[in-house]
A and B are shown apart, each in its own frame.
Chain A
Amino acid sequence: MIYLKAISNYIPSQVIDNIENAKAFSESESFIINKIGARQLPRLPYDEQASDIGSAAVRALCDQHGLNFEEIEALVVITQNGDFGGLPHTSAIIHGKLGLPEQVACFDIGLGCSGYVYGLSILKAHMQEMGFQNAVLVTADPYSKIVDSNDRNTSLLFGDAATASWLSVNGEWEIQRPLLATNGQGYSALVKQESLVMDGRSVFNFAAQNVPDQINNYLEKFNLVHDDIDLFLLHQGSAAIIDVITRKLNYSKDKFIFDIENTGNTVSSSIPLLCERYIKESRFNKIVISGFGVGLSWATTLLSKKVSI
């Protein structure tokens, strides 16, 4: 069995004041707080890359949770904005920056906001195939590299952050089989051209129309009801998107966490940033996580605490 054992993060200290930022677009503080949800957006220093924040997250994981570099057998990075446009793979660059042993499998996964759910499943399967005991899943997708600061649709939304998750044969949280989905006909809703181009309405409608159904289907498929679930940790797209998904699901609102006040939408890091906080709490045993976005891609799975005999 492969468990999610621990998570650590790295959030750049340099931030943009999003309230000030919004004035350039004649948007009110109320809009920023109530509809976006982010007062500040962390920003990678100009001369840093995905590998820098990814490395920092892995170092934090090892320092905070006692994982030795020599124990890491695979390092996987979820990013679509890797160093050098993704060639070489950012996981290899992080491998080099950390000085990891040669016998470490490194590869990147080119996914965005659904990436963490996909990534847990892929790395778990890889570990089981290879007989690995310890591996690290990194999310490091700095959208500041591709967002046009003059674009109202995107410059008020995204923040930079990285996380590192320790997957191990020892741990508490079982990673269950996910539901994975794609709508490639909707790809144009989020595209990187000269900069990121986002059709906000299409992304909003996609999330509202697909994510509640997938969560409901997940519960039904695995013989669960929403009362069985302690928390629903959704990709933190924006306050408006979390609101509409919560409304459509019509479960107890207490079970839905929303917190991007100091981070903004951190793409594939948004779910592990929340998980890091909540998997430490002994009162939670079943957490549904659901990521959705660029692709269009969406994925849902359950983290469930191992039952002690």
Chain B
Amino acid sequence: MNIFENINTAFSQANIDVVIDSEQQKDMTRTFKELGLDSLDLFNFFLELDALTGKQIPESEFDKIKNISDVIEIYK
């Protein structure tokens, strides 16, 4: 799967009602808060994304991720 498929699969597996459209720039730059995600949603999302990609981002990087664009940058 490409990164967008992984992101949307992670949202789905985490029971989070968010779908990212790779064609929509605003989806890339809206903050997680603007997407309606709280801290525990993010724990769930990254748990699933880490499992899908086989990559766990270190704690030092986690707080720097504010939006989907940051996710793509880190997980590419």
- In the complex, how many angstroms separate the beta carbon of A290 from the nearest chain B beta carbon? 18
Which of B15-55 touch A at CB < 8 Å?
15, 38-40, 43-44, 46-47
Among listed A38-46, A106-114, A164-172, A196-204, interface-contacting one: A196-204
A216 close to B (CB within 8 Å): no
A247 close to B (CB within 8 Å): yes
Please tell me which one of the listed residues A35, A205, A208 contacts residue B38 in the complex, with CB atoms under 8 A apart: A35
- If A205-B47, A208-B47, A244-B47 touch, whether A200 touches B39 (CB-CB below 8 Å) is yes
A98 to B32, CA, bound (A): 53
Please tell me which one of the listed residues B15, B38, B62 contacts residue A201 in the complex, with CB atoms under 8 A apart: B62
Instruction: Say which size band chain B's interface belongs to.
Output: 10 to 19
Ranked 5 nearest A-B pairs via Cβ: A240-B40, A204-B43, A35-B40, A201-B43, A31-B38
- In the complex, how many angstroms separate the beta carbon of A28 from the nearest chain B beta carbon? 8
B43, A200: Cβ atoms closer than 8 Å: yes
A202 to B60, CA, bound (A): 12
B59, A240: Cβ atoms closer than 8 Å: no
- If A208-B47, A244-B47, A247-B15 touch, whether A202 touches B59 (CB-CB below 8 Å) is yes
- In the complex, how many angstroms separate the beta carbon of B39 from the nearest chain A beta carbon? 7
B44, A244: Cβ atoms closer than 8 Å: yes
A204 to B15, CA, bound (A): 16
Which of A88-123 touch B at CB < 8 Å?
none
Kindly list chain A residues whose C-beta atoms are within 8 Å of the C-beta of B59.
Answer: 199, 201-202
A202 to B57, CA, bound (A): 12
- If A199-B59, A202-B59 touch, whether A240 touches B43 (CB-CB below 8 Å) is yes
- In the complex, how many angstroms separate the beta carbon of A191 from the nearest chain B beta carbon? 14
Kindly list chain A residues whose C-beta atoms are within 8 Å of the C-beta of B46.
Answer: 201
- In the complex, how many angstroms separate the beta carbon of A24 from the nearest chain B beta carbon? 16
A200 to B44, CA, bound (A): 12
A243 to B62, CA, bound (A): 22
Of the A-B pairs whose beta carbons lie under 8 Å apart in the complex, a sample of 24, sorted by A's number, is A31-B38, A31-B40, A35-B38, A35-B40, A199-B59, A201-B43, A201-B46, A201-B59, A201-B62, A202-B59, A204-B40, A204-B43, A204-B44, A204-B47, A205-B43, A205-B47, A208-B47, A238-B40, A240-B43, A240-B44, A243-B15, A244-B44, A244-B47, A247-B15
